Structure 1
Amino acid sequence: MSSTDVNCGEGGGAYTYTNLRIASIFVIFATSAIGSFFPVLARKSKWLKVPNAVFEFAKYFGSGVIVATAFIHLLSPALGELGSPCLSPAWQAYPYPLALAMLSLFGIFIVQIISFRWGMAKLAKLGIRPDVHGHGEHLDAANSPDGASDGEKITSDVEEAQPEQFDDSAMAQVMGIFILEFGILLHSLLIGLTLAVDPDFIVLFVVIVFHQMFEGLGVGSRLAFLRLPPKYNFIPFVAALLYSISTPVGIIAGLGIRSTYNPNSTTASIVSGVLDSLSAGILLYTGLVELMAHEFLFSNEMNKASNGKLAYALCCMLFGTALMALLGKWA
């Protein structure tokens, strides 16, 4: 297949369904906001009473969504974009998408290791002994010869001791959410750009509506479980808003440049492929380590849970993975 057959020119954005493409800005904003804001509002507000089981479902369902997004909606398209016949043969000489995803994965890992070690050292100076999960216990209580009695619970979170201070535990949570959001926002912007110019608009639009809502539930469920000092409770709402507007912003940008923007062009393929690859590595790390490992392997709650609860959590996660993977058939 020649580069001419796949439209490798600089122009070529579709001008069909213009009114519907404009309407998609508001529709996708609404569905993204529903997905991302609902868990946060339900958890933080007093007037919206939602059973805890709903939160549990959203949390594990969201973990599955994030992992499927990394593999099916980011890494797979990146392989196609950087393997495009519009690109120089040099791009096919090496699996660059996999290498870039690996690079971003290890990059995030190293950044978190450095941050974690810095945080542990700072907590130790405050008289807190950090454990491997980012919490800690007061040294005086931990060094007591009798230990804590059955009726006592050693404070294991600096946030409880200093509720107004933005401590290292809170900072670690915000950093984790920032990493997750960074990967998802890049992906959402690219989705918006594609939706604005793609000739197969109708099918893509329907799929992206569900895609953004499910992904929003994944993001929102993580935001809802952030444990922050009261004065920083605005952070989950700001993060949910950023997610909600990311795809609409991409659509607006795409509509503005569709006379010159062709998603199959050489430049667009390289930019999209590189960003998708880097985002895939970020979401793979977040999904496998921050979500799956922490929620299942390193969670005291899950370690003590019944086999039934464990099976339910796994089914919720796999359900989220399956739905998001199925959407990959169309987008």
Structure 2
Amino acid sequence: MATQVVSQIMRRAEEEELNCGSGGGADNMLGLRIASIFIILVGSTSGALFPVLAKNSSWLHVPKSVFDFAKYFGSGVIIATAFIHLLVPGIEALESPCLPAGWSEYPYAFALCLLSIFLIFIVEVFAFRWGTHKLAMIGMQHDAHGHGTGSHAAHGPEGNVTDTKSSLDDSTDIEAAESTHALDTTHTQIVGVAILELGVVLHSILIGLTLAVSEEFKILFVVLVFHQTFEGLGIGSRLAFLDLPASYGWMRMAGAIMYGLTTPVGVAVGLAVRTTYNPESATASIVSGVLDSFSAGILIYTGMVELLAHEFLFNKEMMKGSTGQLCYAIGCMMLGCALMALIGKWA
């Protein structure tokens, strides 16, 4: 009997050592932790909603230079988020000494990031092919190298409406073709921004959960207010420049509000389970590591393809514009990337 008791105690000790303890998260400063739900809600929602409201409101007149700054600054924020705030924590979580030895025998974080990149690529390829096929059915062409104006958040088949008008004699057919072109372009844009928002939302829920139970609450709280506001500016600028028909306009607001809610929801869930949730456990490390690594792939693909390639290399306005305009856009992007990377020192 005594031998069995000793054996059970040793087994539990081994399990706790593997999971880095079985206790709950930090329980101090509960009032401030609850207040953080509303403070972060205001910051993240404001950051995401400002570009949307400013771009699409007739009563709020904001100079174009402000929009340009928000768009390119936000692009830099998203790219830094992918590498500094997602991939690095994903690697650390999946290489945690709390995990079984098998997790250290293969670079799972990089593999999941790579898998995510190719999955997103395949989704966009088929979405693009579908849109292109729909345009071909009505005799329209598309520009395979992106946009003419650079006003879109995600690439899509750009139809040559002039050529279409010359080939269609009936005005009703012309209107139908233009309507179909707009709808197909809208679909591919929505796919691109939905992919971006998916990666950001997963990340936001995880950091909210972490904030709720973290021992270093004060520092993390202050940093996350800036983190979520800057990231909201990035997602909001993408949403604001979506070229959507009036019937789809609600998607901009819905996307911004959904982003604003994710981190507060994560904090609320974390507070609800704070007495039992162990952020250092093997299960918590695996879940956060997998989601962070997968989200990193989403944002890396979005940042490199949708933002850098299509906002700069394949953007006719940017390539034909002045050198000063190009340098300003790159400078804004680098500033956003640098500030978000600096925040990674604390969060």
Answer yes or no: same fold by TM over 0.5: yes
1:51 paired to 2:63: yes
Match of 2:202, SS state, is helix
In structure 2, what is the equivalent of residue 149 of structure 1?
A: none
Q: Is the CA contact 1:159–1:167 (under 8 Å) kept in the aligned structure 2?
A: no
1:34 aligns with 2:57: no
- Distance in 2 (CA, whole Å) between partners of 1:200 and 1:222 is 33
Amino acid at match of 1:162: S
Matched with 1:137 is: 160
What does the per-residue CA deviation read over 1:145-181, in whole Å, with 9 as the maximum and x for residues that have no partner?
A: xxxxxxxxxxxxx999329x86110011111110000
Task: Give the Cα separation in 2 of the matches to 1:206 and 1:138.
Answer: 50
Superposition deviation, residue 140 in structure 1: 4.2
- Deviation track 1:269-315 (CA, whole Å, cap 9, x = no partner) reads 00000000000000000011011110000001101111111111111
* C-alpha distance in structure 2 between counterparts of 1:290 and 1:142, whole Å: 30
- Which has the greater radius of gyration? 2
Instruction: State how far apart, in whole Å, the 2-side matches of 1:52 and 1:190 are.
Output: 35
Specify the code of the residue in structure 2 equivalent to 1:180: L
1:101-140 to 2 correspondence within 5 Å?
101-132=113-144, 133=146, 134-138=157-161, 140=163
CA contact (8 A) 1:6 1:264 kept: no
Secondary structure at 1:123 match in 2? helix
Shift of 1:12: 2.3
Choose from 234, 238, 262 the match for 1:222. Answer: 238
Q: Which residue does the alignment assign to 1:152?
A: none
Amino acid in structure 1 at the alignment position of 2:291: L
1:210 aligned to which of 208, 221, 226: 226
Equivalent positions of 1:140-179 (< 5 A) are 140-141=163-164, 161-162=178-179, 167-179=183-195
Amino acid at match of 2:28: T
Q: Is 1:61 matched with 2:73?
A: yes
Q: Deviations over 1:226-261 (max 9, x none)?
A: 000011110000000000000000001101111111
Cα separation, 2, equivalents of 1:274 and 1:56: 34
Output the CA distance in 1 between the equivalents of 2:259 and 2:284: 23
- Of 288, 292, 297, which aligns to 1:276? 292
Q: TM-score, normalised by structure 1?
A: 0.91
Q: Residues 23 and 278 of structure 2 are in contact (CA less than 8 Å); yes or no, is this contact kept in structure 1? A: yes
Secondary structure of 1:167's counterpart equals helix
Distance 1:159 1:7 in 2: 61
Which letter maps to 1:316? Answer: C
Q: Which amino acid aligns with 1:91?
A: W
The whole-number CA distance in structure 2 between the counterparts of 1:81 and 1:111 is 28
Is it true that 1:290 corresponds to 2:306 in the alignment? yes
The answer to whether the 8 A contact 1:188-1:250 is kept is yes
Q: How many residue pairs end up in the alignment?
A: 317
Structure 2 letter corresponding to 1:34: S
Q: Distance in 1 between matches of 2:340 and 2:101?
A: 32
Alpha-carbon contact 1:192-1:251 (below 8 Å) kept: yes
Structure 1 position 87 matched with structure 2 position 88: no
Kept after mapping to 2: 8 A contact 1:32/1:212: yes
Give the letter aligned to residue 179 of structure 2: Q
**2:86 match:** 74
> What does residue 269 of structure 2 align with?
253
SS of the residue corresponding to residue 60 of structure 2 reads coil
Query: Any conservation in 1 of the 2:70–2:234 contact (CA below 8 Å)?
Result: yes
Ranges in structure 1 where 5+ consecutive residues have no aligned partner: 145-157
Question: Alpha-carbon deviations, 1:60-94, whole Å to 9, x = none?
Answer: 00000000000000000011100100001111111
Letter in 2 for 1:202: K
> What letter matches 1:178 in structure 2?
A
How much identity, in percent, do the aligned residues show?
A: 58
CA contact (8 A) 2:91 2:109 kept: yes
- AA aligned to 1:182 is L
Residue of structure 2 equivalent to 1:232: 248
RMSD of aligned alpha carbons:
2.1
- The aligned counterpart of 1:151 is none
Tell me how far 1:9 sits from its aligned partner: 3.0
| Unmatched 5+ stretches in structure 2 | 1-13, 147-156, 168-174
User: What's the secondary structure of 2:141's corresponding residue?
Assistant: strand
| Structure 1 position 6, deviation (Å) | 9.0
Q: Report the Cα distance in structure 1 between the residues aligned to 2:34 and 2:176, rounded to whole angstroms.
A: 45
Which residue number corresponds to residue 328 of structure 1? 344
